[in-house]
Structure 1
Amino acid sequence: MQTLRIRHRTEYRYNRPLSFGEHRLMFRPRDSHDLRHVSSELSLSPTAEVRWHHDVFSNSIAVAEFKEPSDHLVLESTVVVEHYGLEDTEFPIDIHAQRLPFTYSADEVGDLARTHERHYPDPEDRIVDWANRCLEQGNGETEKTLSAMTQIIREEFEYVTRNEEGTQAPDETLIKQQGTCRDFALLMIEAARTLGLAARFVTGYLYDPNKTETSGLRGAGATHAWTQVFLPGAGWIEYDPTNGIIGGTNLIRVAVTRDPSQAIVVRGTYFGMPEDFMDMQVSVTVEKINP
């Protein structure tokens, strides 16, 4: 177990005072047996009234209503969690699910719903071909196939940062052989669904214990994204194709969704012209502290 402090600060600047619409914030980590929420503080400028609710996936959502105009908007979250990341990459998968393809039980299928349905077009079967390549590399074994997906993306795709909103379509990521952590997570989700697996999108933070450019971890210092796949007998297992991580080590989960479009960390509006917006700065630090 490690105790971690996460500071996430987002600042928007405008060239004149503006009024703001409602903002939807996705900052608070999900409590579970492997991640326990200890404390949290949300600081907003200008001041706002905040209410909390759970979305359809049971993620914690803060909704902020700002009462006064300003030429800047600052959203700062400080959270302390106890993290019990799984380091063992061998999982107790039910015998019938140890090789692909397999069928989820009737009870599981109803609850997994659309997480095992493909969501994106693949007119030239690029995703199908890539998924089958991983299946062949994994000898048809479920664990080895998912490991192959994770490692191939880590080793063969170029990690880039992108300021534009949204996520690349999976076939576009395959064509470009590059993308952000969100792009890589979505590619793996769609490839897993191609093979009949239930998969979902995870947004959260990455703890880099070395905090150096040579640590090999990509995506620290910002929000991070990865994949979960449901394996009978083992449950939802974490796969981070950006870094080749399996099992959740150093991954702090904030929200899980069916699609990346449902996992926007900050979503809101302002009343003004597009040219009123000047810039946005985001900083994220994740540090280990003494309990």
Structure 2
Amino acid sequence: MDARAALLTVSHSTVYHYATAVETAQHLATIRPRACQWQEVVEHAEQIEPAPSYLTSRVDGFGNDVLYFSLDTPHDSLRMTTKTTVRLQPRWTNLDPAATPEWESVAQRLRYQAGSVFYPEAEFCFASPNIALSPELERYARASFAAGTPVVAGAIDLMHRLHADFEYAPTATAFDTPATQAFDLRRGVCQDFAQVMIGCLRALGLPARYVSGYLRTEPPAGQPRLIGADASHAWVSVFCPQSGWVDLDPTNDVLADLDHVTLAIGRDYSDVSLLRGMILGGGEHQVDVAVSVREVTTDE
């Protein structure tokens, strides 16, 4: 193994406790980490309790492996557990933010024009269910993108400003809080930090996508513990024609690298939520989540 690589094991448990029995349920689950150029999935195991009566999977339009399953017997809880080992390679060794193209040229290249070349990254320039392209987000973003600013340098400056201006507050927002509302509050969790930053970039015509995943629970010696390490995490990916997708974590003000395990990619949280679907019954519910990400040492 490359001495610079990191071998991480992710353990994730999610339990839904229902106030009354669920008679039947249809679910979609995004619980399988992606294989990427920088991330090799070495092992993956998953378990769903009660056992589904029907289970299948498919790759969605964003390249995520999504599970579809049915439960047709009454149940008062649903437990999903996964254990995954991934090998991560360092991604930014040769990245020079100041040498990336001017942001205006990137926005112009991906702007729709009849008869022009289609670039698939343009899909991530538009509004999405949780992210509106508001004038307020554009004004905030422009402070980081003066004329001629290199696109990655501008995105990193925007990340620095968001990290400084926003407060990490777990109870301030909900899973469906729109980016514009989180922006007004200047508070939220990693999902809100990511969606606000994505909205800022898209408001300038720059492609940006939402990345869900995990953070290493215990950092290497001498490094600070990252915020959000005890649950699923989220960050931002901005497109640069020269460098590809560059991942930035505004919650922690770092580039996503050897501490970040990629789970899924979409336009915003609504595309990659852990569990979606329909249930009959259940009433109110409580969710318990436990996440652990640790490095696998050579003697294990």
After TM superposition, the score normalised by the length of structure 1 is 0.87
Shift of 1:121: 4.3
1:221-268 deviation line (CA, Å, top 9, x unaligned): 111111111101110110111111115331111111123211111113
1:99 aligns with 2:99: no
- Kept after mapping to 2: 8 A contact 1:161/1:180: yes
Within 5 Å, give how 1:113-262 maps onto structure 2.
113-119=122-128, 120-121=131-132, 125-136=135-146, 140-162=149-171, 165-210=174-219, 215-262=224-271
> Is the CA contact 1:228–1:237 (under 8 Å) kept in the aligned structure 2?
yes
Give the Å deviation of 1:92: 7.8
More displaced stretch, 84-93 vs 263-272: 84-93
**Structure 2 gaps, min length 5:** 111-115
Tell me the residue number matched to 1:42. 46
Shift of the alpha carbon at 1:54?
0.7
Corresponding position: 1:13 with 2:23? no
With structure 2 as the length reference, what TM-score do the two structures score? 0.85
CA contact (8 A) 1:182 1:260 kept: yes
Q: Which one-letter code corresponds to 1:13 in the other structure?
A: H
CA RMSD of aligned residues (A): 2.6
Match for residue 68 of structure 1 among 67, 70, 73: 73
The reply on whether 1:81 has 2:78 as its aligned counterpart is no
- Residues 25 and 266 in structure 1, CA contact (< 8 A), matched pair in contact too: yes
Kept after mapping to 2: 8 A contact 1:88/1:247: no
Q: Could you report, residue by residue, the CA deviation over 1:137-191 in whole angstroms, capped at 9, with x for unpaired residues?
A: x972322211111111112210122497534333322221111111111111111
Q: Secondary structure at the match of 1:262?
A: helix
- 1:188–1:227 contact (8 Å) kept in structure 2: yes
Preserved contact between residue 139 and residue 145 of structure 1 (Cα < 8 Å): no
Deviations 1:55-105 (A, max 9, x none): 111200111222422221111111111111424373489x7x622211327
- Seen in structure 2, the aligned counterparts of structure 1 residues 71 and 132 have a Cα distance that, compared at 3 Å, is same
Supply the AA of the counterpart residue of 1:289: V
After the TM superposition, which of the residue ranges 194-203 and 155-164 deviates more from structure 2? 155-164
Residues 121/72 of structure 1: CA separation in 2 closer, same or farther (3 Å cut) = closer
Alignment of structure 1 residues 253-272 onto 2, 5 Å: 253-272=262-281
1:90 paired to 2:95: yes
* Paired residue total: 283
Structure 1 alignment gaps of length 5 or more? none
Kindly provide the amino acid, as one letter, of the partner of residue 287 in structure 1: R
Give the AA of the match of 1:56: G
* Distance in 1 between residues matched to 2:29 and 2:132, nearest whole Å: 30
Separation in 2 of the partners of 1:164 and 1:194?
22
Partner deviation per Cα, 1:99-153 (whole Å, 9 max, x = no partner): 221132754x431233122454466x211210111224x9723222111111111
**1:3 Cα shift?**
1.2
Counterpart code for 2:11: R
Q: Is the 8 A contact 2:133 2:202 kept in 1?
A: no
CA–CA separation in structure 2 for the residues paired with 1:207 and 1:130: 31
